[in-house]
């Protein structure tokens, strides 16, 4: 069966490659896109889609900007035809009118993307195309609606039902390990020995989401330390000379680094599903684990402390802890959500603001961003749904008793009476 499938695939590939060579002939990418939208044959359609992707890859920066402008203007919604279709459906609610209205409500560029995605490997190419678009938005903000289309399609293509959770360990393929090193965005991996310390010991784990259309490209990954008690320092977690324990001895799983890998998938949420899935799997495999927490950065803390004129208070460990607790629990944006982006992510997932630590990240980046402070968010799997709803509905921050008390101590002093 496998031999027959491979043979069929080879014949198919040869056939559409022959068509692809016949289709180029110096034609513009816009003409080829128009032909692709009207193509009816499977083989010729795949060949033409491949040619379009090749032509796009050959464009320079100015050419790509012109291509995006073509997508945004020439393949936009026909608003006049849509208005007529909406009126016709409103009059009779006929299924045919409904079908026409739905077809007109979608810009033709979305169908173009779907047709390009027929080509093996095209999903990754389209994700990279969105990277180019995101860069172009700085120069051409009017292309924002095109970015909305990419996000709409990617939310469907990359929904949780299609994602595959895979453990990453020291025996994983080298090309995957190289990407873990490259994509680590929180605590840089400085060498292969550094990576080995994070993957090989019995008390360390790493998990990543993959998509079947991008099997060699992790979408997001999380690194986990299995510990006794809640970790309060990234130096301790990553220390070369730390004492290793058997996984069965651990009572706590510490999620100490979560890295998104694909810039072109920005705005597509994977982290909430990843953490919950990993916590459930670890809890099933290691019944001794009772606590699931993060050890997370507070990337905007010192910026806020400086803006509030409270740098002097941050000079002592306890002063820094009070400020961090108040900032995370009380400092809000105009929309009522926490100012800190990592806090919004974890609290939005239903986690609890559990504890804060001074001197927890003494790296240059950690000191610059948070004065060395880090925070534990607790994932109580029995309460995450309730906490998520409270946060989503009213921005309520779930916090432990000690953090609530510490946040009150971190309130700014009342202004003196005149």
**How far apart are alpha carbons 103 and 78 in whole angstroms?**
10
* pLDDT for the residue numbered 106: 95
CATH number of 350's domain: 3.40.630.150
**How many domains, the chain?**
2
* pLDDT for the residue numbered 416: 63
pLDDT at 24 over 90: no
pLDDT at 14 over 50: no
Which residues, in sequence order, are CB contacts of 233 under 8 Å at separation 6+? 295, 357, 359, 360, 361, 374
pLDDT at 107 over 70: yes
Percentage of the residues of the chain whose pLDDT score is greater than 90: 89
Q: Domain for residue 416, yes or no? A: no
Residues 342, 186, 235, 319, CA torsion sign = negative
pLDDT tens-digit readout, 254-309: 999 999 999 999 999 888 899 999 999 999 999 999 999 999 999 999 999 999 99
Q: Which two tokens stand for residue 67?
A: 């291509």
User: Do the Cβ atoms of 206 and 168 come closer than 8 Å?
Assistant: yes
Same domain, 274 and 202: yes
* pLDDT for the residue numbered 190: 94
Nearest-CA neighbor of 211 among 283, 279, 264, 132? 264
Same domain, 169 and 212: yes
Q: Domain for residue 275, yes or no? A: yes
pLDDT at 247 over 90: yes
CATH number of 137's domain: 1.20.140.90
Same domain, 83 and 176: no
Same domain, 306 and 396: yes
Instruction: Tell me the β-bridge partners of 352.
Output: 378
Supply the range of the domain harboring residue 355: 161-409
**How far apart are alpha carbons 305 and 371 in whole angstroms?**
10
Q: What is the DSSP string of 102-159?
A: HHHHS-HHHHHHHHHTTSTTHHHHHHHHHHHHHHHTTT-GGGHHHHHHHHHHHHHHT-
pLDDT tens-digit readout, 337-366: 999 999 999 999 999 999 999 999 999 999
Same domain, 171 and 128: no
* pLDDT for the residue numbered 272: 85
* pLDDT for the residue numbered 7: 39
Q: Domain for residue 46, yes or no? A: yes
Out of 168-172, 237-241, 325-329, 412-416, which region has the weakest mean confidence (pLDDT)? 412-416
* pLDDT for the residue numbered 6: 41
Same domain, 147 and 178: no
Same domain, 286 and 371: yes
Same domain, 306 and 361: yes
Percentage of the residues of the chain whose pLDDT score is greater than 70: 93
**How far apart are alpha carbons 359 and 141 in whole angstroms?**
41
**How far apart are alpha carbons 288 and 285 in whole angstroms?**
9
* pLDDT for the residue numbered 10: 43
**How far apart are alpha carbons 190 and 196 in whole angstroms?**
11
**How far apart are alpha carbons 279 and 346 in whole angstroms?**
14
Same domain, 226 and 197: yes
Angle between helices 108-116 and 122-136 (to 10 degrees): 140
Q: Domain for residue 418, yes or no? A: no
pLDDT at 386 over 50: yes
The residue among 119, 136, 157 that closes a domain is 157
Stated as kind and residue range, the H or E segment containing 292 is strand 291-294
Same domain, 352 and 266: yes
CA distances 297 to 41, 187, 232, 368, 381, Å, are 52, 10, 11, 11, 22
The residue among 106, 139, 157 that closes a domain is 157
pLDDT band at 28; cut points 50, 70, 90: very high
User: Can you state the percent helix, strand and coil of the chain, rounding each to 5?
Assistant: 55, 10, 30
pLDDT band at 116; cut points 50, 70, 90: very high
**How far apart are alpha carbons 49 and 35 in whole angstroms?**
10
* pLDDT for the residue numbered 369: 97
Q: Domain for residue 123, yes or no? A: yes
Same domain, 349 and 361: yes
**How far apart are alpha carbons 418 and 416 in whole angstroms?**
6
Same domain, 119 and 170: no
As a dihedral over the C-alpha atoms of residue 184, residue 188, residue 192, residue 196, rounded to 10 degrees, the angle is -80
* pLDDT for the residue numbered 418: 57
Q: Domain for residue 415, yes or no? A: no
Average pLDDT value for residue range 191-216: 96
Which residues, in sequence order, are CB contacts of 257 under 8 Å at separation 6+? 184, 185, 186, 187, 222, 223
Q: Domain for residue 190, yes or no? A: yes
* pLDDT for the residue numbered 26: 77
* pLDDT for the residue numbered 271: 84
* pLDDT for the residue numbered 335: 93
pLDDT tens-digit readout, 43-52: 788 999 999 9
**How far apart are alpha carbons 284 and 114 in whole angstroms?**
39
Q: Domain for residue 414, yes or no? A: no
Task: Output Rg (C-alpha) for the chain, integer angstroms.
Answer: 26
* pLDDT for the residue numbered 43: 79
The residue among 157, 189, 223 that closes a domain is 157
């Amino acid at each position: 069966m496998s031999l027959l499938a491979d043979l069929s695939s080879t014949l198919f590939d040869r056939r559409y490659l022959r068509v692809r060579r016949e289709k180029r002939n110096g034609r513009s990418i816009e003409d080829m896109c128009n032909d692709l939208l009207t193509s009816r044959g499977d083989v010729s359609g795949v060949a033409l889609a491949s040619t379009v992707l090749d032509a796009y890859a050959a464009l320079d920066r100015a050419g790509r900007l012109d291509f995006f402008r073509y997508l945004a203007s020439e393949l936009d919604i026909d608003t006049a035809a849509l208005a007529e279709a909406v009126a016709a459906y409103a009059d009779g609610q006929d299924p045919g009118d409904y079908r026409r209205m739905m077809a007109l409500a979608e810009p033709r560029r979305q169908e173009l993307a779907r047709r390009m995605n027929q080509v093996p490997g095209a999903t990754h190419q389209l994700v990279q195309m969105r990277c180019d678009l995101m860069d172009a938005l700085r120069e051409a903000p009017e292309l924002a609606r095109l970015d909305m289309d990419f996000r709409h399609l990617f939310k469907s293509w990359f929904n949780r039902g299609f994602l595959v959770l895979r453990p990453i360990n020291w025996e994983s393929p080298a090309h995957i390990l190289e990407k873990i090193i490259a994509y680590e965005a929180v605590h840089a991996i400085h060498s292969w020995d550094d990576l080995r310390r994070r993957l090989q010991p019995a008390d360390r784990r790493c998990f990543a989401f993959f998509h079947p259309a991008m099997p060699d490209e992790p979408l997001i990954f999380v690194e986990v330390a299995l510990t006794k008690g809640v970790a309060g320092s990234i130096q301790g977690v990553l220390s070369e000379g730390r004492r290793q324990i058997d996984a069965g001895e651990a009572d706590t799983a510490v999620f100490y680094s979560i890295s998104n890998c694909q810039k072109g998938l920005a705005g597509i949420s994977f982290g909430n599903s990843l953490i919950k899935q990993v916590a459930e799997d670890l809890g099933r495999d290691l019944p001794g684990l009772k606590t699931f927490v993060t050890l997370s950065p507070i990337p905007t803390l010192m910026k806020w402390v400086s803006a509030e004129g409270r740098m002097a208070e941050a000079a002592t460990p306890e002063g820094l802890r009070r400020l961090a607790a108040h900032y995370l629990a009380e400092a809000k944006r105009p929309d009522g959500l926490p100012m800190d982006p990592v806090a919004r992510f974890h609290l939005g997932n239903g986690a609890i603001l559990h504890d804060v630590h001074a001197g927890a990240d003494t790296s240059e980046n950690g000191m610059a961003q948070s004065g060395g402070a880090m925070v534990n968010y607790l994932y109580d799997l029995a309460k995450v749904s309730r906490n998520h709803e409270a946060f989503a509905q009213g921005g309520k921050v779930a916090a432990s008793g000690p953090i609530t008390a510490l946040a009150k101590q971190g309130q700014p002093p009342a202004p003196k009476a005149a």
